[in-house]
Structure 1
Amino acid sequence: MTPSRPATAPGVREPAGTVTGPVGRLSPTDRFLPLWIVAAMVLGLLLGRAVPGLDEVLSAIEVGGISVPIALGLLIMMYPVLAKVRYDRLGTVAGDRRLLVSSLVLNWLIGPAVMFALAWLLLPDLPEYRTGLIIVGLARCIAMVIIWNDLARGDREAAAVLVALNSLFQVVAFGLLGWFYLEVLPGLLGLERAGADFSTGRIVLNVLVFLGVPLLAGYLTRRTGEKARGRDWYETRFLPRVGPLALYGLLFTIVLLFALQGGKITSQPADVARIAVPLLAYFALMWAGSYALGRAVGLPYDRTATLAFTAAGNNFELAIAVAIGTFGVTSGQALAGVVGPLIEVPVLVALVYVSLWLRRRMTTEGSGRGG
């Protein structure tokens, strides 16, 4: 996904009334994403009050323990994201071993461990939300990161490659890491496990369905679309048409989640605030640590920014899908996933500004040394 319009060229003034800066380069849909999410939450709460038997209606048409309407919403939410990935460029990042190794370590070793630690430190008394956040930590970002990377003047091709690698790696690694962080590691540390209703096999199955199916569909769509009409048509005509489906699927899922969880949410509003705290800490720690690592290993600014944003973001779509499929649509685990994008969007927009400030500072310092 890319911003709807490019940055204004140096020396050219923005039209009167135009929103400038990184936020101004977001499409209206992406710029107001937190607002859409809040509106979907409110609509869901109102729907839950207006239709008391909604949970019974949804459970009457379910397959494999998950409601068919919600499953369709989740698949629609995932497909456009994976149709955007340039799968033919996976090999281009292999030449930059510093970027590749740093990204893999940050995404698949450090990121899940940081979220695990924060979830246990800040939510020791809320096991469902804690488990939901751990699942969020396992779902590495494959969507919005391209937007943040573009706004921060990161390396677009490197971001696309890392997104593709994360997409493929998640199919294999998500279930294994879920088993480790929810069952094995808590046992080793003498902590409470995820619970008797937890099933590693269920997580693997849901990853295969809600990531594997749209991943295959996205790959085949790009391959056949580019072969028939060319890459330019695919990326400038086709993707803008299917891209909004991701947001529609996300909002549809949020409406149903909040319709089913309305009673819990309205009776315990402080829980949402408590879920937000470890998420805020996670984004700050992962972005700052990743940026520092990129500079320490000698990456240029554009690839350092790419490394930082791909490590800090999370694939909330997948986390929500896995939480619903494994623990149920009314579970606290699913609610933790839903709160995620509400926090992520404003925080990462703020980090875009921080990144651009660091870029200007690096440029100024470089010019000073050169003079």
Structure 2
Amino acid sequence: MSETATAATGSVAGRLSLVDRFLTVWLLAAMAVGLGLGRLVPGLGDALAKITVTGVSLPIALGLLVMMYPVLAKVRYDRLDTVTRDKRLLIPSLVINWVLGPAVMFALAWIFLPDLPEYRTGLIIVGLARCIAMVIIWNDLARGDREAAAVLVALNSVFQVVAFSVLGWFYLSVLPGLLGLGQTALDISVWEIARSVLVFLGIPLAAGFLTRRIGERAKGRSWYETKLIPRIGPFALYGLLFTIVVLFALQGDAITSRPLDVVRIALPLLVYFAVMWAGSMALGKAVGLDYPRATTLAFTAAGNNFELAIAVAIATFGATSGQALAGVVGPLIEVPVLIGLVSVALAARRFFPDTPDTPGTADISDTPGTPGTPDLAARPAAAPEGPARA
């Protein structure tokens, strides 16, 4: 590398914040801190779980809302029509999420946990709950298409309200009965699912949309994306780190005291995330999607709505049930695996020849001029100052 290139790289690295530069380290540290707190502080998990929102601990709910709001405020809502017209993206996403995803998890749960019905049921519930929250962060880190992620998450939300109970009945009662495997009842109302969607997607989506609409109308798109977004952007990462600490603290004692059970649950989850992500990424490439949209397809397929899965498991089977433990282990495995898949996705950009090969690591704080900035590095320049379309 030339001296000029080396100097430029050093200058670029110097503009990255300490958190962004060592992102993976901080995420892993957050997991360790959460596990340590849950194990060392008596009663912490019970205290965190006492106040709930739609069956999920209030601290986790707050962390998720803080995490999602900045990313949804970055979405250019006037570009969503370019996503909704892309049938190469929408049709595969719906098929993968609502046909293949639940079927793959059902098969893996029975293959890996034939003798553990509680954990098996918990995993099937995780497979039915398609992701509407944390996938937005993974997609942003991997430089996926932010507008496409917003559309696919919204579609998943609608299908979740309509299809979750029906799929739960099919995969826990009908299909096992047809195969002679035994049956399990799942008692969850459509309203409970809709309430979870409204809280974990509706609130940050409305806040993000209104922030962009008001900000652009007041001072223009250029000011919004170069001044306001860099100020609120870092809160996505802070919310993610806080959520991970609380999530791991809630079940720290259970996780560390039942390591073999966790391993049994983790194995099918590892296979599931790898198969769903890699298969979806390959399909995106095969149908001609560019890197950002193929990446969005892959992460929306691999992620799961653990908030809903945990709430359903607790409401139906109890907080201390094996089903609830399987629901909790889901995100504990999903977080580190999808962190790793973010790196795999960034490395896979070279297989998409039209993708700019911008150096640097992903930076979800979206600081202008910083390498890896998903919104400004690889997209058209912002519109001139002045009122923007809503």
Are positions 1:223 and 2:230 aligned together? no
| Pairing partner for 1:319 from 305, 324, 339 | 305
Spell out the pairing of 1:102-141 with structure 2 (5 A cutoff). 102-124=92-114, 125=116, 126-127=119-120, 129-131=122-124, 133-135=126-128, 137-139=130-132, 141=135
**Unpaired segments ≥5 residues, structure 2:** 356-390
> Number of residue pairs matched?
340
Q: Indicate conservation of the 8 Å contact 1:320/1:338, yes or no.
A: no
Aligned partner of 1:286 in structure 2 is 276
TM-score using structure 1 length: 0.75
- Quote the offset at 1:344 in angstroms: 0.7
Aligned partner of 1:172 in structure 2 is 158
Aligned partner of 1:341 in structure 2 is 335
Partners of 1:361 and 1:228 lie apart in 2 by: 35
In structure 2, give the amino acid aligned to 1:245. Answer: F
Partners of 1:122 and 1:31 lie apart in 2 by: 38
In structure 2, give the amino acid aligned to 1:166. Answer: L
Q: Indicate conservation of the 8 Å contact 2:126/2:309, yes or no.
A: no
Aligned partner of 2:146 in structure 1 is 160
> Which range moves more in the overlay, 347-356 or 202-211?
347-356
Secondary structure (helix, strand or coil) at the match of 2:251 reads: helix
In structure 2, give the amino acid aligned to 1:334. Answer: V
Partners of 1:325 and 1:39 lie apart in 2 by: 26
Partners of 1:230 and 1:41 lie apart in 2 by: 40
Q: Indicate conservation of the 8 Å contact 2:128/2:164, yes or no.
A: yes
- Quote the offset at 1:311 in angstroms: 2.2
Are positions 1:255 and 2:253 aligned together? no
Aligned partner of 2:168 in structure 1 is 182
C-alpha RMSD of matched pairs (Å)? 3.9
In structure 2, give the amino acid aligned to 1:165. Answer: V
Partners of 1:130 and 1:340 lie apart in 2 by: 12
TM-score using structure 2 length: 0.72
Q: Indicate conservation of the 8 Å contact 1:87/1:219, yes or no.
A: yes
- Quote the offset at 1:316 in angstroms: 9.2
- When residues 31 and 178 of structure 1 are mapped into structure 2, their CA distance, relative to the original with a 3 A threshold, is farther
Aligned partner of 2:388 in structure 1 is none
**Unpaired segments ≥5 residues, structure 1:** 1-7, 151-158, 363-371
Aligned partner of 1:83 in structure 2 is 73
> Which range moves more in the overlay, 174-183 or 136-145?
136-145
| Pairing partner for 2:35 from 45, 49, 57 | 45
- Quote the offset at 1:36 in angstroms: 2.5
Aligned partner of 1:142 in structure 2 is 136
Are positions 1:265 and 2:219 aligned together? no
Alpha-carbon displacement from aligned partner over 1:130-152 (angstroms, at most 9, x marks no partner): 145315545483332233246xx
Aligned partner of 2:383 in structure 1 is none
Aligned partner of 1:15 in structure 2 is 7
